[in-house]
């Protein structure tokens, strides 16, 4: 395995699949390298096609909602975080590209909308 970090901190891993989850501790933050997993709903086969660029952006938006500090803001009922949650939920409901991945994201976000969507 070889990990290369370029100037804007993008990691590229080449070689055999990871058998461990390495972690890099820096002064102000920590980076964990985890094995790749395709996004899919339970009991569905992964989509054989790579994700569209727009779907990657939606995944990034969803992950932002589910991690600190935004997840904490959702729990606290912060209006900005709740508005972001609702906006992503609405976008996912109308999403037609990458239908399997979008369905998996909808399932995940729907739980957060149910728990925190009222602010």
The pLDDT tens digits for 29-44 are: 777 665 556 666 666 7
For tokens 């891993």, name the residue: 13
Q: Is residue 62 part of a domain?
A: yes
Indicate if 60 and 103 belong to the same structural domain. Answer: yes
pTM recorded for the entire structure: 0.62
**How far lies 6's CA from each of 2, 3, 63, in Å?**
13, 10, 23
Predicted confidence at residue 81, as pLDDT, reads 92
**What are 70-105's pLDDT values in tens digits?**
889 999 999 999 999 999 999 999 888 888 888 888
Q: At a CB cut-off of 8 Å and minimum separation 6, what does 32 contact?
A: 21, 22, 23, 24
**What are 14-26's pLDDT values in tens digits?**
666 556 666 777 7
Q: Is residue 70 part of a domain?
A: yes
**3-state SS class at 77:** coil
End-to-end CA distance of the chain: 45
User: Sign of torsion, CA 44 46 47 48?
Assistant: negative
* Mean pLDDT score, 3-23: 61
Q: Is residue 58 part of a domain?
A: yes
Q: Is residue 48 part of a domain?
A: no
More confident call, 89 vs 67: 89
User: What's 39's DSSP letter?
Assistant: -
Number of domains the chain contains: 2
Q: Is residue 81 part of a domain?
A: yes
Predicted confidence at residue 25, as pLDDT, reads 78
Indicate if 105 and 65 belong to the same structural domain. Answer: yes
Phi/psi zone of residue 66: left (φ > 0), alpha (ψ -120 to 50 degrees), beta? alpha
Indicate if 28 and 60 belong to the same structural domain. Answer: no
Q: Is residue 23 part of a domain?
A: yes
Domain around 111? 53-116
Indicate if 64 and 106 belong to the same structural domain. Answer: yes
- Of 47, 52, 46, the C-alpha closest to 95 is 52
Residue 54 has pLDDT above 80, yes or no: yes
Q: Is residue 106 part of a domain?
A: yes
Q: Is residue 104 part of a domain?
A: yes
Q: How many CA atoms lie within 13 A of 63 on its CB side?
A: 7
Length of the chain as a residue count: 119
């Amino acid at each position: 395995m070889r990990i290369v970090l370029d100037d804007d901190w993008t990691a590229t891993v080449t070689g055999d699949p990871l058998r461990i989850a390495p972690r890099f501790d820096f002064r102000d933050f920590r980076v964990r390298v985890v094995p790749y997993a395709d996004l899919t709903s339970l009991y569905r086969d992964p989509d054989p096609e790579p994700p569209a660029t727009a779907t990657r952006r939606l995944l990034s938006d969803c992950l932002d909602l589910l991690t600190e500090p935004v997840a904490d803001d959702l729990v606290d009922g912060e209006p900005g975080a709740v508005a972001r949650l609702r906006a992503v939920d609405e976008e996912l409901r109308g999403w037609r590209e990458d239908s399997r991945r979008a369905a998996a994201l909808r399932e995940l976000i729907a739980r957060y909308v149910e728990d925190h969507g009222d602010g």
